[in-house]
Amino acid sequence: MRVLVLGGDGYLGWPTALHLSDTGDEVGIVDNFLRRRYDDEMGVESLVPIEPLEVRTDVWHDLTGRRIETFVGDLVDAEFLFDVVRRFRPDTIVHFAEQRSAPYSMIDRAHAVHTQHNNVIGNLNLLYAIAEIDPSIHLVKLGTMGEYGTPNIDIEEGWLEIEHKGRRDRVMFPKRPNSFYHLSKVHDSHNIEFACRIWGLRATDLNQGVVYGQQTPQTERDPRLATRFDYDAVFGTVLNRFVIQAVLGEPLTVYGSGGQTRGIIDIRDTVECIRLAAANPAEPGEFRVFNQLTESMSVHEMAKAVSDTFPGIVEVENLENPRVEADQHYYNVVFTGLPSLGLQPHRLSDTLITSLFPVVEQHRERVNHTALSPTVRWRSPSNDLAT
């Protein structure tokens, strides 16, 4: 299968590209390196050094004999995108290429507009590229569990069978997310569902939980194949950030009471979920949604898991929550789609957490400590980032 991975230079896009290449797909990567530029803007770097994309793909070729073709450009540039799709002729397009940080989107107006423009218009261009060039291309789109927010009912997989005043319908699951970033993915989901309906496109929307971990069997083969490991309060996901804070001797910063419950998933399961979705495409006209997580856990429980595992003293600090979100709420997610395709989940284990400690230890001198504290407050429409 020919698979084009959009955002294939990022935290998850890169290991996904390697996993697919390793399992026999012909892989191409599209990226505009925006994620690396956000680092420059924030004054931070990945904790683990990452190589330029061309070095990464060369190393992969040297080790495996497999080529990954690269295309450098922006999905917002329709001419570029159409050209790539025409040249690469993918069977599947995996779309990671969005601004993916909630705090980044909440810095101020310019960052919210950038996020929604970049994500919504890029995705819209992609839908048109598929519709015009080859509607049989299967779109595998990264959504987020954050699209749903925290409703007081079970979270189904994208659709909801409802009864109202004695009548029944199957509707899009109602969304009420907690940032302009998460909203951008809600907008994408609505646009994609419509494109499936009118053009017969086939799409799988993967509403992914919070990813943790940094290594996959492919990235471990050479340090130059490493993927990013973000620790800062803007791009670092919560469990990874706790691991890094523990090793650094910094308090684990829990926002509010830590009662916020989130779906989580191991990076090795993420890449396998993508493979499974690609290998089992949606039907023409189908807007298929999977909830891509393997378990749910409160932020407090995540902090406890890290502090219980770390062989030293760990302090947990409850900060005033900079976000606007419920920290005591119902949370029960249905996620049967990906297991039914064969996913064998890695549950969060001491082993995984322990395996991250030496990674952090090795690169601890690279940390900008001030970047660990949250500086983006949801209640303020304009945050001044002293980076």
Looking from the CA of 202 toward its CB, the CA atoms found within 13 Å total 15
Site for its own copies contains 214 (CB under 8 A)? no
**Cα(92)–Cα(221) distance, integer angstroms:** 26
Q: Which is nearer to its own copies, 180 or 290 (CB)?
A: 180
Alpha-carbon distance of 269 to 343, in angstroms, equals: 8
- Tokens 């929604």 identify what position? 116
SS3 content of the chain, % helix, strand, coil (to 5): 40, 20, 40
Q: Are 333 and 157 in contact (CB under 8 A)?
A: no
> How far is the C-alpha of 320 from the C-alpha of 299, rounded, in Å?
14
CB of 256 to its own copies, least distance (A): 15
User: Nearest approach, Cβ of 178 to its own copies (angstroms)?
Assistant: 8
The catalytically annotated residue of 57, 144, 227, 270 is 144
The reply on whether position 33 binds its own copies by CB under 8 A is: no
Specify whether the CB–CB gap between 213 and 48 falls below 8 A. no
The whole-angstrom separation of Cα 20 and Cα 271 is: 8
Beta carbons within 8 Å of 355's beta carbon, 6+ residues apart? 215
In whole angstroms, the minimum distance from the beta carbon of 105 to its own copies comes to 11
Give helix 13-22 / helix 53-64 axis angle, nearest 10°: 20
Distance CA 131, CA 142 (A): 19
Q: Which is nearer to its own copies, 291 or 309 (CB)?
A: 291
Give the integer Cα–Cα distance in Å for 59 and 57.
Answer: 5
Could you give the CA distance from residue 310 to residue 316 in angstroms, rounded to a whole number?
Answer: 13
Least Å from the CB of residue 170 to its own copies: 8
Map the footprint of its own copies across residues 127-146, applying CB under 8 A: 128, 131-132
Asked if 194 touches its own copies (CB under 8 A), the answer is yes
Is there binding between residue 379 and its own copies (CB under 8 A)? Answer: yes
Considering beta carbons, is residue 116 or 309 the nearer one to its own copies?
Answer: 116
**Which position among 43, 162, 362, 373 is part of the footprint of its own copies (CB under 8 A)?**
162
| Binding flag, residue 333, its own copies (CB under 8 A) | no
Report residue 179 as tokens.
Answer: 């940032």
Q: How many residues bind its own copies (CB under 8 A)?
A: 53
Q: Does 86 bind its own copies (CB under 8 A)?
A: no
CB 339 within 8 A of CB 345: yes
Phi and psi of 285, rounded to 5°?
85, -5
Taking the least distance from each CB to its own copies, the nearer of 121 and 279 is 121
* Of the candidate residues 43, 171, 336, 340, the single one contacting its own copies (CB under 8 A): 171
Instruction: Tell me if residue 181 is catalytic.
Output: yes
220 is a contact residue toward its own copies (CB under 8 A): no
Kindly state whether residue 198 participates in binding its own copies, applying the rule CB under 8 A.
yes
Q: Which of 21, 101, 125, 291 binds its own copies (CB under 8 A)?
A: 125
The CB-of-198 to its own copies minimum distance in angstroms stands at 4
Closest to its own copies by CB, 104 vs 242, is 104
Query: Which span sits near its own copies by CB under 8 A: 14-22, 86-94, 192-200, 232-240?
Result: 192-200
DSSP string, 22-61: HTT-EEEEEE--HHHHHHHHHT---SS----HHHHHHHHH
Looking at the annotation, which residues are catalytic?
144, 181, 185
Which residue ranges make up the site for its own copies (CB under 8 A)? 78, 108-110, 112-113, 116-117, 120-121, 124-125, 128, 131-132, 151-154, 160, 162-165, 167-169, 171-180, 183, 186-187, 190-191, 193-194, 197-199, 324, 330, 378-379, 381-382
